[in-house]
Amino acid sequence: MAVEYSWPSKDKSQAIGKRVKRLDGLAKSTGAAKYTYDVNLKDQLIAKGLGSPHASCTIKSIDTSAAEKVPGVVDVLALKKTGDKIEFQGDLIVVVAAESEGAAREGVAACKVEYDMQPVFVKDSDLAAAKAAGRTSSGGGKVQLEKEPAAGENADDFAAKEIERLLKDSAHVVEAEYGIDAITHCCLEPHGTTLSWDGGKLTAYLSTQNV
């Protein structure tokens, strides 16, 4: 049974259509707000990550030996191994921990990674090629249907057949493709976390946008 709902009118709404003052607006605009980069602890190490510059590839080799010899570098951790697949640009491959930000950056720059490039499909017009390469998957949430699959029946197969049946039985069917330009927001805060161990207790100073 469908439930009808309509948005309240603006004159009756407490928030929709109204100008609202940000509680943190003054602190952020004046620089008083504290972020993770403002937390500097005793004997603190700085960690920097090496992200993949490519959106689709396979790791051929990783060599961190030069990074481990950089003065100030304390530890180098490879998060990927030979043969691992990269499926998005920026996917972390190596993390370097050092006594200073400069040493961490130098250590990251010293890491050598070889990539086996794979085709990248990012345009609507590339959909057929992406399907042919087996690079697509179902998205979205569960479709609410009038019927439910029988016991043991594959839910995805049932949904596809049921949707096809509903479209066939419908008096009017409109087929179209919809798209939207990329949308991004720019946060004032840096994306990072500062961690402090005190015996068996861990204190984490977190960004709010990216934990």
Side-chain half-sphere CA neighbours of 90 within 13 A: 0
Residue 55's pLDDT is 92
Residue 83's pLDDT is 96
Residue 148's pLDDT is 80
Residue 137's pLDDT is 77
Q: Residue 48's CB: how many other CB atoms inside 10 A?
A: 19
Residue 200 predicted with pLDDT over 70: yes
Residue 76 predicted with pLDDT over 80: yes
Q: Name the pLDDT band for 3 (thresholds 50, 70, 90).
A: low
Q: Across residues 63-81, what is the average pLDDT?
A: 97
| CA neighbor of 72 nearest in space, from 118, 49, 104, 50 | 104
Cite the DSSP H helix spans in the chain: 25-30, 65-68, 101-110, 127-132, 155-169
Q: Name the pLDDT band for 1 (thresholds 50, 70, 90).
A: low
pLDDT in tens, 16-63: 788 888 888 898 889 888 888 888 899 999 999 999 999 999 999 999
Give the mean pLDDT of the chain: 87
Residue 159 predicted with pLDDT over 90: no
Q: Name the pLDDT band for 4 (thresholds 50, 70, 90).
A: confident
Residue 105 predicted with pLDDT over 90: yes
Higher pLDDT, 159 or 69: 69
Interatomic CA distance for residues 110 and 68, integer angstroms = 9
Task: Give the bridge partners for 61, in sequence order.
Answer: 114
φ and ψ at 79, to 5 degrees? -90, -15
Rg for the chain, CA atoms, rounded: 25
- Backbone torsion region of residue 71, taken as left when φ is above 0, otherwise alpha when ψ lies between -120 and 50, otherwise beta: beta
Residue 70 predicted with pLDDT over 90: yes
Length of the chain: 211
Percent of the chain with pLDDT over 90: 41
Give the CA-trace dihedral at 125, 164, 180, 190, to 10 degrees: -100
Residue 140 predicted with pLDDT over 80: no
Q: Name the pLDDT band for 117 (thresholds 50, 70, 90).
A: very high
